[in-house]
Structure 1
């Protein structure tokens, strides 16, 4: 009986450690066009928007993409659903990437990733989005890994 109790406890701990989270907080900073920091219950959470890709620091378009994301979200309340909570990236992306939570995020009812693609500051990444952010025939698409 004791062995069964220990096994059940281990199973519960492993499930909760891998469970996806739902984050509600205020954006405190932007890294680039697809990642940012938010404050959630007095802790900082690093977020990577799922299903899109934008230029990294040092790449052409970085400043415009980072500036656009900052204008959209910085200082605002945001709601983020980690991969695993019925996001476009479920089953295609891990819930974490390096030190970042991979998530679909919203300002009100606006999907932040879709807005970045609509504004031509990020590309749909079908490997992870399954084409969810392919908004029209002119949407840029990230190929490969």
Structure 2
């Protein structure tokens, strides 16, 4: 019999304990990293509280249903996570496949002319505003900074889209081109610190009679809602 004494290693041996701790820490750290950076968000209720007013969510605009809101398919990790080259992004207006998979976003600081709802006639320039927004962001990749959740469970957010001249604030561009006015309501009013900028752009668009300001009589969306209430 060999005289060497064989060391019996039990589950409580320091090497086993240290190895287990390292493995557990690695697994938990990897899970936290995945949850923070690569887990898809598919509704406003899933957005972590720490994102509001601080972080942006990256995704693809899959549909635009009104002049001031749209649906976003979250693309966590962007190209680094394989989106657009290893992982396919969804097609636009594929409502059946995208049901309950997108975030409903309401553009902050703006109000676009009302489309027809519940038997009420559409507001003048509502279709032009809708077409402008579709042309500007539909199918594009955008960054959304969540600011709050409104009464319809939409994310009220600041939206940035890349154009040839750089990143553009979508709300700012809508006001500048006269396809929306500065938001007047008290509920869910969010400007991300740019209310004064928006109001100055609105005054300039009004002066130049751009977009909806070309009309002789302009009712704000708020006034229009009250009129047909």
Given that 2:113 and 2:126 are in contact with CA atoms closer than 8 Å, whether structure 1 keeps it comes out as yes
For 1:106, which of 132, 153, 160 is the aligned residue?
Answer: 160
Does residue 133 (structure 1) correspond to residue 191 (structure 2)? The answer is no
Structure 1 or 2: more strand by fraction = 1
**In 1, Cα distance between the equivalents of 2:202 and 2:125?**
21
Structure 1, unaligned runs of 5 or more: 1-15, 84-94
For 1:24, which of 58, 63, 84 is the aligned residue?
Answer: 58
- Once the two structures are superposed, the pairs formed by residues 53-92 of structure 1 within 5 Å of their partners are 53-57=111-115, 58-83=122-147
SS, match of residue 66 in structure 2 = coil
Structure 2, unaligned runs of 5 or more: 1-46, 76-97, 116-121, 207-218, 224-229
**In 2, Cα distance between the equivalents of 1:121 and 1:48?**
15
Compute the TM-score of the two structures, normalised by the length of structure 2.
Answer: 0.46
For residue 139 of structure 1, report the CA deviation from its aligned partner: 4.0
Compute the TM-score of the two structures, normalised by the length of structure 1.
Answer: 0.71
What is the CA deviation profile of residues 66-117 of structure 1, one whole-angstrom value per residue up to 9, with x for unaligned ones?
000000000000101011xxxxxxxxxxx01112100000002100001111
SS, match of residue 31 in structure 1 = strand
Given that 1:123 and 1:139 are in contact with CA atoms closer than 8 Å, whether structure 2 keeps it comes out as no
For residue 143 of structure 1, report the CA deviation from its aligned partner: 9.0
Given that 1:124 and 1:142 are in contact with CA atoms closer than 8 Å, whether structure 2 keeps it comes out as no
Q: What does residue 89 of structure 2 align with?
A: none
Q: Which has the larger radius of gyration?
A: 2
How many matched pairs?
Answer: 119
Structure 1 stretches of 4+ with a deviation exceeding 2 A read 16-19, 125-132, 136-145
SS, match of residue 139 in structure 2 = coil
**In 1, Cα distance between the equivalents of 2:182 and 2:202?**
11
What is the CA deviation profile of residues 101-138 of structure 1, one whole-angstrom value per residue up to 9, with x for unaligned ones?
00000002100001111110000126633333121533
Superposed CA RMSD in Å reads: 2.7
Structure 1 or 2: more helix by fraction = 2
